[in-house]
Structure 1
Amino acid sequence: MSNKVIKEPSNQLEYIISSKQEHEYSKAVNKLFDLALTYIEDAEKGNRLGRKAAWTQGVFEAPLFYACDTVPISAIDLGRLSSRNSVQIAEEAFDLPKETCSMISVLLGEWVLRNNSSVKRVVAFNNACEPFNMAYELIREQGYDVFRVEGAIRPKLNHDGRLDQVIKFLSGELGDLAVWLTGKQLDESRMAREIARMNRILAKVRTVMELRLKNSLYIKSLPTMFILMGSGHYFGKPDEFEAVLDELIDELNSSDVIPSPLGKVIPLTWIGARGLEFGVYKAVDDCGGALLSWFTPNPYDRNWREDVPPLESMARYILDYFLVGSPVHQIKGIERMIEQSSSKGIFFYHYVGCAFGGVHVEIFRDYFKKRGIPSIGLDGCFQVGAPSGQLLTRVRAFIEMFS
């Protein structure tokens, strides 16, 4: 382990560089960060050279996109290394109210900045949230080609075959998306192979997460978040991302356990948005915490079905997705994660101005409070820079409760 002194980071890039230095013993973690740092730039460059690409959520689209020879560029990843003036640009360009969700403001500002230099195709899944739907229409006015996938909320039960109808409708929408991406009907055998690859990668992500239970500090919080992000889009390089996972598994199986400098590791769970304020993750690590289970928009605890047609498999996966429908459908999965990781407490994270995420968090918090599991709600911001001192103080105080 290195004894070099690292100054406190002040922006997202510096947090990544700091984490690379902290993980200098792991070639795999450093390769992971390199994939993350080059992801969007390489996708944009490839598009200029003729390779198809489109902006999207970067969560569940990989099998369809790669089956269509199209790189999915995660709009959420765009915000992680955004410009400091993105929000100001968006507010001036679109006359946004100050209370607009910071994630929407940042992404709109970034798309304005890239209007003449980047990929101009955008896939919009309409069941995300209304502010996102508004953003898609605003960038359409800026000259972006937006394809809307009309979604639906999963019915609680399959009364009168309603779930079957929703699945059929969404499958049709996804088939239309494939035509928009390529100009021809989907090659279903190709997509079936991509679904098999997705399941293989998700299995490897689960293996990494299981091995972290035994060696919690080998891969700390920030690179773990990037592993989960990458599971949704592979950073545009499927083979390289899977190779990184294989290398991480080999390292975790062969490396000595890294002891906590504070004497013990406090297992914790993260629920909600993946977070842009990387300083929160660093504060968790520095206080002796370890985020060992994550319930975020990148679910790694489930597979895609391979016994049904590919578009139906994707439709079913989307309808079971974290952000679609009532969060009460997800509670059993969270309980299972908490039990497997022996978590002592929960972080609930959502962005300021996101009423959609805030409602979900409150439902979750109320449920787990009644079961005696300590938790803390964090109102984060999607703008670049270090987190506020108040936010870090709350994180540290919460972890110190378990010391």
Structure 2
Amino acid sequence: MFDIKAIRDNPAAFDAGLARRGLEPRSADLLDLDARRRALITEAQEAQSRRNAASKDIGRAKKAGEDAQALIDEVAGLKTRLAELEAERDRVETQLTEALAWLPNTPADDVPDGADENDNVELRRWGTPAAFDFEPREHFALGEALGQMDFEAAAALSGSRFVVLKGALARLERALGQFMLDVQTADHGYEEVTTPVLVREDALFGTGQLPKFADDLFRTTDDRWLIPTAEVTLTNLHREQIVEEESLPRRYAALTYCFRSEAGAAGRDTRGMIRQHQFNKVELVSVTTPEAGEAEQERKVGCAEAILQKLGLAYRVVSLCTGDLGATMRRTYDIEVWLAGQQRYREISSVSWAGDYQARRMNLRCRPKGERETRFCHTLNGSGLAVGRTLIAVMEAYQAADGSIAVPEVLKPYMGGLERIAAS
């Protein structure tokens, strides 16, 4: 969410930021609402001041035995006018707040300009994609042949875009989540947190999923929402708070179920586990000072990359262009893992820096040591990693010609020493 004062100070820069996202200028409309709001506040203050003065004059007139009716009528009129002004101010403030709430964040200066994912810029690669002397299969073919991945059973229970995992594959998914949490907490200093997966509307407003992306979410009958990512709960841990800067950064990690309607995914990735309504993910969230925000994003990317490196999975890092950048973020790096069955890189983590956009929406502030003034924190989030997609990558990279799957070395302790997953 934007600070109207910043727009007032530099409307051209604000409009230029929107233009990079392909949007029309909005500063003139916003500043018109702001001017009306401020004019109403000024008029109300003047009316209240006059009402106070007239009330005192009534007392003096009565004490002196003078006729105070004209003053009494004026005070009554001012009371009515004040109610009208307050109602109109509230209406204009609501208009302004709603207009600001729908606007996307301003891209950082170094974010590449572009229309869509085809204009994203590759930054680096790590590892060499696995080579096979046979035609590698996709994860769903492997899982179904093993008898441990059942899409038909899931469809009978819940419909499309769900899966039932069994046996060693179910354990492998659990092992991946535990392994990721252990690395992020022990090696990278994240605090493990368990959070609800049902939240109120204001939590989703705070991180920016609402109001714009309601169609991407699942809503319950009691007006709560299933989280699309633990970014929502972890970032909102400090909503409406003032955090002392000496305690920053705060770094949190959570392994949760995530729920997405995939409203815009019709016809895409209809087979397999790439795009599910329900999936597991380890989310990494940081709350820090404005000065440390950009460096924290680079650190967080490294924390996510470490998982893939330990698993021996080839990947690349790309910087999202303005046309592919999420609405709430200033900059996003995607990590794309190599999928042997598809013979291409697919996104497995997005690591994003929101600047103070989310903090303003949830009124999350920080205070420098020894000072009274506060300022808005910077928030960051990233997957460390999406568990289901990591399972896919492991299955496809470690497959053998007979359809069995080798267990990566780092996961063997989590798998009870099992070295290979084969059909039972």
TM-score, normalized by length of structure 1? Answer: 0.23
- From the two aligned structures, give the one with the greater helix fraction: 1
- From the two aligned structures, give the one with the greater strand fraction: 2
